[in-house]
Structure 1
Amino acid sequence: MILMHGDGDPTTREGLRAIYTPPRLPWLRANMVSSLDGAATGSDGLSGTVNNAVDVDVFHILRDLADVVLVGAGTAVAETYSAKGTPIVIVSRRGRVPDDLRGCEPGAVRLATVAEAPGLAAARDEIGEQNVYVVGDSEVDLPALMKELHDEGMRHVLCEGGPSLLGSLLEAGVVDELCHTITPKLLAGDGRRIVTGPPIDVPVSLASLIEHDGTLLGRWLVST
């Protein structure tokens, strides 16, 4: 690996942990991957056809460093999320807990939803009322959700997408950092970008950039 900008030794796990340790808390980091031509998913609609081994290594380091993982319900279903290790908060306006995440240990899976969600009552029964965050009436209030998580001691939040949730987080001004892996692939097709939604203009600055066999692992600090 070659560290093109930043401090730390990217050739060791300890060095990578040092590079990716947040500079302060609270901290909201998003982690996304795309092909060289900008596709966040492959022809199967999954990120697994875009990423590679070095991206997976960083993915696990980011998980280890985080207090909680934030993910949109659609992404959790498509990527067949499981509740192992770091607690997961599913963001869903419908208030539905994905089938694969039901029956987990108490607190392993949480839900951020709205008062008008049709699945609110069922979600409270499934994972416990204390694990359901009602933040907003019809739209999820993301700054309010961040406050709830911080108040519970989950101050390092890792968002793993999808693109719509990341767009909403950026629009709400609550993202501190974007970790973006670019893999050396050209996929064409109609793959989504890493951010979707209404147009935004969010300045970023490069914190570090690692190159490994053509894969670029970038950390971008978001200006607020």
Structure 2
Amino acid sequence: MAGMSDSDLSLVRLADLDDGALAEVYAPPSEPWLRVNFVSTLDGAAQGGDGLSKSINNPADKRVFHLLRRRADVLVVGAGTVRAEAYEPPTLPLVVVSRSGDVPPSVRGSDLVHVATCADSPGLARTREALGEDRVLVVGRDEVDLVALKAELAARGWRDQLCEGGPALFGSMLAAGVVDELCLTQTPRLVAGESLRIAAGVGVDVRLRLASLLEQDGTLLGRWLVDPDPGP
């Protein structure tokens, strides 16, 4: 599927793909490769009424979610999302992006947890003492430099990079131009209200190209590539 033109794309049933075929669908075309994975309702909510994404996902979304984690070299998540979603200790390297430098309580104690922060972070010294020098990535002076972060992850051998948000981090990544791909699951639900969208922060205008589209029981799982040369 990765080499298909737009005219060749068709809706494929997720259930028709075994794990090997599904992994091929999501294979990155080059490295380093930064993909962002989100789930939303059809009206654009990135969370349910409880404020969590867990309440709007389903088995189809979870299958792709776990596939992306298995194939990734590193997981990148904003500190606020780690706290809100109560992330468990990771099974692959986890880089928590935090300007304050704090490590969320649910993942403290894991040797796989790293923190990406900036030189002016108020918690830098404390975090270095807790994690050690090598597990604290200082990228940027007063804000986390996401271009430098992507390069640093690749330099450490983490070339298949997976980000799970949240919306503020995704918005900043789009503004910085470091996102290569968006994996978006749309579940057949409407929630209205004031839920977050998948991207927040400063306005951007990023054009995407559909690479694959899977379906299961009304759930749509799209793989969108950032167009490096969108033209006029």
* Cα drift, residue 9 of structure 1: 8.4
Q: 2:158 aligns with which of 154, 160, 171?
A: 154
Q: Distance in 1 between matches of 2:150 and 2:177?
A: 11
Post-superposition shift, 1:5? 5.2
Q: Hey, what does 1:63 align to over in structure 2?
A: 69
Question: After TM superposition, what 4+ stretches of structure 1 lie above 4 angstroms from structure 2?
Answer: none
Q: Is residue 129 of structure 1 aligned with residue 133 of structure 2? A: yes
Indicate yes or no: 2:177 matched with 1:173: yes
Letter in 1 for 2:90: K
Aligned to 1:221: 225
Q: 1:15 aligns with which of 21, 29, 38?
A: 21
Task: Give the percent of matched residue pairs that are identical in Structure 1 and Structure 2.
Answer: 55
CA displacement, residues 86-124 of structure 1 (integer Å, 9 cap, x when unaligned): 11000000000111111112xx00000011111111111
Deviations 1:160-205 (A, max 9, x none): 0000100111111111100000000011111100011111000100
**1:11 Cα deviation from its structure 2 partner:** 2.3
1:45 aligns to 2:51 (yes or no): yes
Q: Which structure 1 segments of 5+ residues have no match?
A: none
Per-residue deviation, 1:46: 0.4
Note if contact 2:118-2:142 (Cα within 8 Å) is conserved in structure 1: yes
Q: How does 1:87-126 map to 2 (within 5 A)?
A: 87-105=93-111, 108-126=112-130
Aligned partners of 2:171, 2:123: CA distance in 1, in Å? 24
- Look up the SS of the partner of 1:136 in the other structure: coil
Amino acid in structure 1 at the alignment position of 2:53: S
Select which of 34, 41, 44 maps to 1:35. Answer: 41
Give the whole-Å Cα distance in 2 for the aligned partners of 1:55 and 1:184: 12
Q: Equivalent residues in 2 for 1:199-214 (5 A)?
A: 199-214=203-218
CA contact (8 A) 1:205 1:222 kept: yes
- TM-score, normalised to structure 2, is 0.91
How many residue pairs get aligned? The number is 219
Secondary structure of 1:71 counterpart: strand
- Cα distance in 2 between the residues matched to 1:102 and 1:175: 27
Is the Cα contact below 8 Å between 1:177 and 1:220 reproduced in 2? yes
Change (3 A) 1:24 1:10: farther
Partner of 1:140 in structure 2? 144
Equivalent position amino acid for 1:202 in 2:
V
Distance verdict in 2 for CA 1:9–1:100, change over 3 Å: closer
Distance (whole Å) between structure 1 residues aligned to residue 160 and residue 131 of structure 2: 22
Q: CA RMSD in A?
A: 1.5
CA deviation after TM superposition for structure 1 residue 138, in Å:
1.1
Partner residue, 2:92: 86
How many Å apart are 1:134 and its aligned residue?
A: 0.6
CA distance in 2, matches of 1:146, 1:9: 34
Judge conservation of contact 1:208–1:219 (CA < 8 Å) in 2. yes
CA drift of 1:84 comes to: 2.7
